Structures are given as C-alpha cells and as structure tokens.
Structure 1
Amino acid sequence: MKIAFIINDHATEKPNYTTPGLGHSAYKRDHDVYFIGVGELSYASKGHLSVRCKTISGKKFNSQETYFKAVQNEEFTRITSQELDVLFLRNNPADEIGSRDWAQNAAFIFGEIAMRNGVLVLNHPSSLAGAINKMYFQHFPEIVRPKTIVSRDLDEIKEFFSKQKQKMILKPLQGSGGTNVFMMDKKNEHNLSQTVEAIARDGYVIAQEYLTEATKGDTRLFLMNGKPLMANGKYAMMQRVNASNDIRSNIHAGGRPEAVKMTDQIMKLAEIVRPKLVQDGMFLVGIDIVGDKLMEINVFSPGGLNVSTQMYDEDFFLPVIEAIEKKVAYRQMYGDYLENAQLATL
C-alpha cells in the first residue's frame, strides 16, 4: 500500500518520535511510505490533493532513527491523493498556536479532500475538526471526567476555585504538551487574576478539579479501534512521572516514563470512552489517566508509542500497521459501501 503521514514540519520532527516509528514499521513491510509537512499540502485544479513529500526506497535500516534521518536527507518529490491508499494525520495543531495559526486546521481540511478521492484518512478528518480544542473531552460521560468549567469570566473561575477548596488546575482550551498549565492553591491565590488573564489572552480558560493522585503523574494508554493496544499480551501504556516540583507529567515537559500494569479501573475507563471514539472514527488515540478519571484524550498525535516499545521490548508499531493493512483490504472489497469513519475503527 501507499501510506502518507502528515507531520507538522520536517525540520521539527525528530527521528525517535512515534510517527517515524510507524513509518519505519510500514517501510519494513515493503509499503511505500511518504512524509508530508502541513505546509506542503495543496489542492490541484483537477480537484484532488497534491503534496510535496519525502520518501525513500530500496535500502535497509537498522533503526527508525537511521531510517528517518535518511528520509529527511532526500529531496522533495510529489504525490497526489489519486495515488495514495492511506493518509494518516499525525500533526499536532496545538504546536502551531501563535506561530503558524494557518496550519492548525490545514491537515483535516485537506484530509477531507483526500477522503473524497477514496483515500482512507486516519483519524477521521471531520471528527478531528471537532476536536481541535479540549472541549471535545467534555463530550464524554461525566463519570470519567474531573469537575471542569470552561470560561473567560474571572468571577466564575474564582467561584469554582472556592468550591474546589482553593486548589485547582488552570490551562488553555487549546494546547498540549503541558504548555501553560498551572496549579492554583492558597499559596499562589494572589496570582489567580494574573494567571487567568495570561491564559485568556489566547482564548478560553479551563479550570479543573485537582486530583490528589496527580502527584504521582498520569498513565498514558494507547487505544486502537477503541480498544487498548496490545502486542504479545502486553499493553502499550506507561506511567508518566512528574519532574520535581512540576505538576505536568508530559514527557516533553520533563516527565519520566515508567512501566505500569493494566488494572480493572483503567480497563473500565477505556471501555467507557470506546463507543464515542469508534463512532467518531478515532483510529489511534492516547488517553491520560489519573486515579479513576481521564485528564485528557489525545486524538491528533499521541506520543510515547516509541517509549512503550523500548520499555516493554515489544513492537507496538507493528499491530498498528497490520490494522491499517486490513482496512485497506476492506476498502478494496467493499468500495464506497463503508464510510471513512466506519472503516477507520473497524
């Protein structure tokens, strides 16, 4: 099959990231693999997607790092949606905030075009468009979510702070990677107005219940087709332990990954979110768990699959590529009878 991955930018995509790992896994199975930066998308006059991309063929590589470095050294080539079987949207819109705002919506807008040309687009682009900010998380059952308000009203946020006994988390509605996340308590209450004002400059503010279990970090679990991702009986998951004196457990923010065991509680949370993820065509996502609550659902470019692969000495990339191969086979058999959103999580 011919599979393309959309990334934010070739200059910022690191060889050890999850997306190069997925690409290398597909490459090892003799698929044609292409990498496309968001800025390299275009709409051709004939009504199809046309992109500048980087690809490589005919060589063997010992690791995903050497593979992707070789890809990056290649010259740009061009491919159209008429030639592709799969387009995997793996860019993170939150990384574009404030620098390339035009790039935030680009992937799923162009993904819609590719979808109309018969390309399987993962995750489903229409659903991604509705998940561009953290409000998507509020559409899941209340039982799995911490108490939360989304507002720009300082008085409303202060009232919520009071109800939470002077302890809560503040973060922007749009964003990821632990950027602009603050824990407010009695010690820094004097900075509450200033903190809300700073976050509100870029949009809405999320005020969220503080979970005491968060001091231990959170658990990142990968879900594929709505179910926990497994390889040889092991789950693609990790405990992300906070760096010293930091409430954020994100790896990019200094969090430390550790092995963690699956529990009945985690399985229950995964089962609760499964119906909506399947309905929305969210093929590969990462859910972040603290205690018995979900803190976040990353549907754009969940990272850490590379870390889990190394940690458990299991190839978690392979089952993802095998699942995509099945979807391409289903598309060939059923044609347009299966809609993209259905096929994405089949």
Structure 2
Amino acid sequence: MTTETIKLAFVVNDVATEQDNYTTVRLARKAVARGHEVALVGLGDFIYDWEDGICAMATLSKIETFEDDTGYLAHLQAPERERTRIRLADWDILMLRSDPAEELTTRSWAPSSSLLFAQLASLGRTIVLNDPRHLTDAVNKTYFQGFPESVRPQTTITREPEEVKRFLDAHGGKGVIKPLQGSGGQGVFIIDKKSRQNLNQITEAVIRDGYAIVQEYLPAAKDGDLRMITLNGHPLRVDDTYACLHRFSQTEDHRSNVSAGGGVEMRAPDEAALTIAEIVGPKLIDDGMYLTGLDIAGNKMMELNVDTPGGISFMEDLSGVDFSGAIIDDLERKVRLQRQYGGSLTNRQLAVI
C-alpha cells in the first residue's frame, strides 16, 4: 500500500531539554526518514488564535535520513534553528509526549495548560494521542486505582504521617512511599526495618509538595521490573518479539528506572505480565490511551506511564527490531482511516482503533 505523507507534531517539555535516548527523538527520526513532516512543540509554545484556532511555535525538522538519534537531535537543537508558527488544524497527528513531573517546581502551569490546548485541537481533524480528555485524569497516579485490584498492589494515598505509619504497620512494616505525581524513580523510598527510623523525615520530604502514595512492597521488585509497551490497548509486538524490557538496579540503589541508572535487557513477558496486559487493556482502550508503558513486578503492575512511555530506543538497540517503525505504520493507518471516514470517527475512537 502506498503511504501518503503525513504531518506529525510532537509535544515535549522543551526541545532544548530533549535527549538522544528519548523515544520521541527515535520516533521523529524514523518519521522524517519516511518523508513525513515532523514538528516539535514545547509546553509553553501554544497559541489560541481568534481566526486560526490552536497554533504553536514549532521546531520543524528537515526531511532527511539521519545516521543516528544523536545527529538528529543536534539538528533539532541547532542554535540557528528558528521556531515556525504552525496551525494545528493543518497537521494530521499531535502526539503528547511531555513529562508533567519535570514541571512541578518551575512551571506547574505548563502541563495542564497544554492539555487544554490539546483538547481543543482534538475537536477538529487532528488526531491527538493519547486522547487528551482522558489523559487529563490519567496523568495523576490516582488513575491507577481505577484498574482491578487483582493487578495492582495495595495502596494508600494521604498527606497524614499517621496514615502512612498505619499502612506500613498493616503490611509487616515494609512498603514503598513516593510522590503522587512524579516519574523516573525520583523521590521513591523503600521503607523497612533499617529505614523505619527515618520515616518521619522521608514522609515529610514526600508530602512537602503534595500527596504521598504508599504501596505494599512487592518482593519480586528486588529483581527489577518489566517495562512493557502497549499500543491500542494491546502489548506491542513485532513478529515474535514483544516491546518489553527487564529493568534492574546495578547499584545498592533499589531503583531500576533507566533514568536512575538501572540496567536493561530484552525479556519476553511471562504469563503473569501478559495476563495483566489483558486485564488493563479494556480500560486503556475505553480511555483512548494509545501508547502506554506498563511497569510490572511479578504478578502486579507497579505503575502505568501514559505521558512519556519510553524505552523504545533501548529495545530497538538491544533487539534490532523496528518497534518505532511499527508505531509509525500504525499512525499512518490512523490518518488513512481519518481521511476515509471524513471526520465521522471521534478522537477517542481513532486513538485506539
């Protein structure tokens, strides 16, 4: 089937802070290599125009085959590259790829504002992924509690230090405490007999900027976790290879997140992980969550990343499998469907169809 050129815009925190191992950079590089038009938009770059609707000051990519992500990112971040005003109604897809946790202290207004612009953009012909109306709820870890209890650890969410202690006492004195809003393993503490003496200070540090989420400790987590990518509510698989990483700690630090210095290796999901994906899939589909990352330890899902599910570049480099190409294939398919149905499909339907 002949592929028509599509116009694909990515929303990131800031083009200047993108890194060459980010999934967004890999997806953008693969898209321009196919001849697609690509733009990157920062959270603070949106414009509502009284005539043109939702616009943005965007960094436009030239269409070319770049040798690697490092060279491509250098092209995007070149000092001479100026931003260009674009009208989002002219673009086929807007992919929301910003991390709200990075904005908590300096630009707390930015994530919510960009979601409002994205919601308005989704009222037209532009396909916005993940669906921004449901993403407004899903960006907060309370969204996690909407999934069946069988797939998630027991949890309490509170700002009361005594409630934290009560939960830990009820779970053998061991648990995990972290900010309700956060990512990349930042501010995550394991509480056990050794660290219990510092519980007051840890709790105070976590609740200083909001709610704390306290979860039961999962013994399987000591061996790391699985990051499994889902697409359209199902595990992403190319031929016989799943987009699934085993992430593990390489130091005494318990965090296995790559951004926290953890190691990675490809690993096929076991039956427990595939069962979790099957259980959470219907809600992901119903909420228009096109691209997500499930973080799984044993038979429980520890977290769900709906903002910037990453790891694709690591998966491709380790396996040689073109997962990002499969995602671009799927985006091209969605644009064809949008054009064929003449706008009669809703954004949520297009997000997961």
* TM-score, normalising length: structure 2: 0.95
Moved more, 288-297 or 182-191: 182-191
Moved more, 227-236 or 284-293: 227-236
Deviation of residue 59 (structure 1)?
Answer: 3.3
Deviation of residue 63 (structure 1)?
Answer: 1.9
Please identify runs of 4+ aligned residues in structure 1 that moved more than 2 A: 56-60
Deviation of residue 275 (structure 1)?
Answer: 0.1
Q: Which residue of 1 aligns with 2:259?
A: 252
2:256 counterpart SS class: coil
Q: Which residue of 2 aligns with 1:303?
A: 310
1:324 counterpart SS class: helix
Does residue 38 (structure 1) correspond to residue 43 (structure 2)? The answer is: yes
Could you tell me which amino acid in structure 2 is paired with residue 41 of structure 1?
F
Distance 1:62 1:103, change over 3 A: same
Match among 50, 56, 72 for residue 51 of structure 1: 56
Q: Which residue of 2 aligns with 1:95?
A: 102
* Residues 152-231 of structure 1: pairs in structure 2 closer than 5 A: 152-231=159-238
Q: Which residue of 2 aligns with 1:338?
A: 345
Task: Please say if residues 164 and 209 of structure 1, whose CA atoms lie closer than 8 Å, have aligned partners that are also in contact.
Answer: yes
User: Distance in 2 between the 1:138 and 1:60 partners?
Assistant: 43
User: Distance in 1 between the 2:92 and 2:334 partners?
Assistant: 10
User: Distance in 2 between the 1:253 and 1:45 partners?
Assistant: 44
User: Distance in 2 between the 1:307 and 1:168 partners?
Assistant: 30
Does residue 134 (structure 1) correspond to residue 156 (structure 2)? The answer is: no
User: Distance in 1 between the 2:196 and 2:69 partners?
Assistant: 47
Question: CA deviation digits over 1:267-318, x for unaligned, max 9?
Answer: 1110000000000001000000000000000000011100000111111101
User: Distance in 2 between the 1:50 and 1:107 partners?
Assistant: 12
Aligned residues: 346
User: Distance in 1 between the 2:62 and 2:13 partners?
Assistant: 23
* Residues 68-147 of structure 1: pairs in structure 2 closer than 5 A: 68-73=73-78, 74-147=81-154
Deviation of residue 38 (structure 1)?
Answer: 0.9
Task: Please say if residues 33 and 63 of structure 2, whose CA atoms lie closer than 8 Å, have aligned partners that are also in contact.
Answer: no
Q: Which residue of 1 aligns with 2:71?
A: 66
User: Distance in 1 between the 2:25 and 2:163 partners?
Assistant: 44
Could you tell me which amino acid in structure 1 is paired with residue 35 of structure 2?
D
2:95 counterpart SS class: strand
Does residue 24 (structure 1) correspond to residue 24 (structure 2)? The answer is: no
User: Distance in 1 between the 2:33 and 2:52 partners?
Assistant: 32
Task: Please say if residues 33 and 55 of structure 1, whose CA atoms lie closer than 8 Å, have aligned partners that are also in contact.
Answer: yes
Deviation of residue 48 (structure 1)?
Answer: 1.1
Task: Please say if residues 91 and 107 of structure 1, whose CA atoms lie closer than 8 Å, have aligned partners that are also in contact.
Answer: no
User: Distance in 2 between the 1:187 and 1:88 partners?
Assistant: 44
Match among 276, 281, 287 for residue 274 of structure 1: 281
User: Distance in 2 between the 1:331 and 1:58 partners?
Assistant: 24
Could you tell me which amino acid in structure 1 is paired with residue 22 of structure 2?
Y
2:269 counterpart SS class: coil
* TM-score, normalising length: structure 1: 0.97
Deviation of residue 16 (structure 1)?
Answer: 2.5
Could you tell me which amino acid in structure 1 is paired with residue 240 of structure 2?
G
User: Distance in 1 between the 2:171 and 2:322 partners?
Assistant: 43
Task: Please say if residues 133 and 173 of structure 1, whose CA atoms lie closer than 8 Å, have aligned partners that are also in contact.
Answer: yes
Deviation of residue 169 (structure 1)?
Answer: 0.4
Task: Please say if residues 35 and 53 of structure 1, whose CA atoms lie closer than 8 Å, have aligned partners that are also in contact.
Answer: yes
Moved more, 104-113 or 167-176: 104-113
User: Distance in 1 between the 2:256 and 2:165 partners?
Assistant: 25
Question: CA deviation digits over 1:133-188, x for unaligned, max 9?
Answer: 11111100000000111011222211111111111100011101111100111112
Deviation of residue 56 (structure 1)?
Answer: 2.6
Does residue 287 (structure 1) correspond to residue 294 (structure 2)? The answer is: yes
User: Distance in 2 between the 1:146 and 1:39 partners?
Assistant: 36
> What residue ranges of structure 2 are gaps of 5+ in the alignment?
1-5
Moved more, 285-294 or 112-121: 112-121
Task: Please say if residues 36 and 54 of structure 1, whose CA atoms lie closer than 8 Å, have aligned partners that are also in contact.
Answer: yes
Does residue 323 (structure 1) correspond to residue 330 (structure 2)? The answer is: yes
Deviation of residue 72 (structure 1)?
Answer: 2.0
User: Distance in 1 between the 2:113 and 2:26 partners?
Assistant: 23
> What residue ranges of structure 1 are gaps of 5+ in the alignment?
none
Moved more, 38-47 or 155-164: 38-47
Q: Percent identity?
A: 42
Question: CA deviation digits over 1:18-67, x for unaligned, max 9?
Answer: 10111111111111011111111111122611111111324332223212
Could you tell me which amino acid in structure 2 is paired with residue 233 of structure 1?
D
Deviation of residue 112 (structure 1)?
Answer: 0.8
Q: Which residue of 1 aligns with 2:3?
A: none
